[in-house]
Amino acid sequence: MFKNVIVKTPGKSYLNGLTTSDLGKPDYEKLLIQHKNYIEALKKCGVTVTHLPASEEFPDSTFVEDTAVLTPEFAVVTNPGADSRNGEIKEIESVLKGFYKNFHYINSPGTLDGGDVLQAEDHFYIGISDRTNEEGARQLKEIVESEGFKGTIVPLKEFFHLKTGITYLGNNIIAAAGEFLDHPDFEEYEKLIVSSKDEYSANCIRVNDFVIIPKGYAETKRKMSEAGYKTIELEMSEFQKHDGGLSCLSLRF
């Protein structure tokens, strides 16, 4: 069960943030509405929302997931791999001080984005991507192992972040797309297969009794319902334009 989430309103500078997509410029008004709906959906899932105000200084800082890795017992403050995002960790660390005593840190030359970390029960999967380097992944593996968890490092082939293509749904089930469909590291899991046309919906979030999925992916929605999940669909177009998905917009713990 998650009790808490941290979210952060996107600032106007979001429009100048990082992206690799060619989906066009985000519409700021729509973005704010989508963010508000995201918060409402989380509340419906029964969590307490800590809502941080926008920072114009950090255009991508609404994607709070990248700044920390959280469990009920400890917090890891990451070292985000994009220079323009690295300073985001200061605010998040001070907010987390209100919830945690036990802190770990990813230190340079190690870099790590929280989007590259998937927790499935007591097992952390740590992607190596353009943002998370081998040293950062190695440091996180050492940290989680020191806390009694398992750690597996997964070099990525195509996805932006590890969780761009995979979600842990609980009960040994993952939603997986692309390179994770036949990946040896995830062989032990039962899979909800996300087809290539629905690939964006592989980034969804299980929050207590619900799975929040992006709107417009009928096949994924149907598969989720058939598997017995209650879903909440959210329009994510303006976040997708900047490579963001549902997991990126919150820290859940």
Nearer residue to ligand CIR within complex by CB, 28 or 227 = 28
Instruction: Please return the burial class of 66, using the count of CB atoms within 10 Å of its CB with bins 0-12, 13-18 and 19+.
Output: buried
Residues in the chain: 253
Among 38, 58, 63, 189, binds ligand CIR (CB under 6 A): 63
Considering only the stretches 14-22, 38-46, 178-186, 190-198, report the one whose residues sit in contact with ligand CIR under the rule CB under 6 A.
Answer: 14-22
Q: Per rule CB under 6 A, is residue 10 in the interface with ligand CIR? A: no
Give the number of other Cβ atoms within 10 Å of residue 250's Cβ: 26
Among 127, 248, 251, 252, binds ligand CIR (CB under 6 A): 248
Cα(151)–Cα(139) distance, integer angstroms: 10
123: annotated active-site residue: no
Q: Per rule CB under 6 A, is residue 66 in the interface with ligand CIR? A: yes
Burial 209-240 (b: 16+ CB within 10 A, else e): ebbbbbeebeebbebbeeeebeebbbebbbbb
Catalytic residue among 35, 104, 161, 242: 161
Give the number of other Cβ atoms within 10 Å of residue 21's Cβ: 11
Cα(115)–Cα(210) distance, integer angstroms: 20
For the CB of residue 148, give the shortest distance to ligand CIR in the complex, in Å.
Answer: 25
Q: Per rule CB under 6 A, is residue 153 in the interface with ligand CIR? A: no
Nearer residue to ligand CIR within complex by CB, 115 or 178 = 115
Q: Per rule CB under 6 A, is residue 88 in the interface with ligand CIR? A: no
Cα(6)–Cα(250) distance, integer angstroms: 5
Considering only the stretches 60-68, 96-104, 178-186, 230-238, report the one whose residues sit in contact with ligand CIR under the rule CB under 6 A.
Answer: 60-68
Instruction: Please return the burial class of 173, using the count of CB atoms within 10 Å of its CB with bins 0-12, 13-18 and 19+.
Output: middle
248: annotated active-site residue: yes
Nearer residue to ligand CIR within complex by CB, 66 or 233 = 66
Contact (Cβ atoms closer than 8 angstroms) between residue 126 and residue 154? yes
- Which residues form the catalytic set? 161, 248
What are the residues binding ligand CIR (CB under 6 A)?
Answer: 17-19, 60, 63, 65-66, 82, 85, 115, 161, 164, 242-245, 247-248
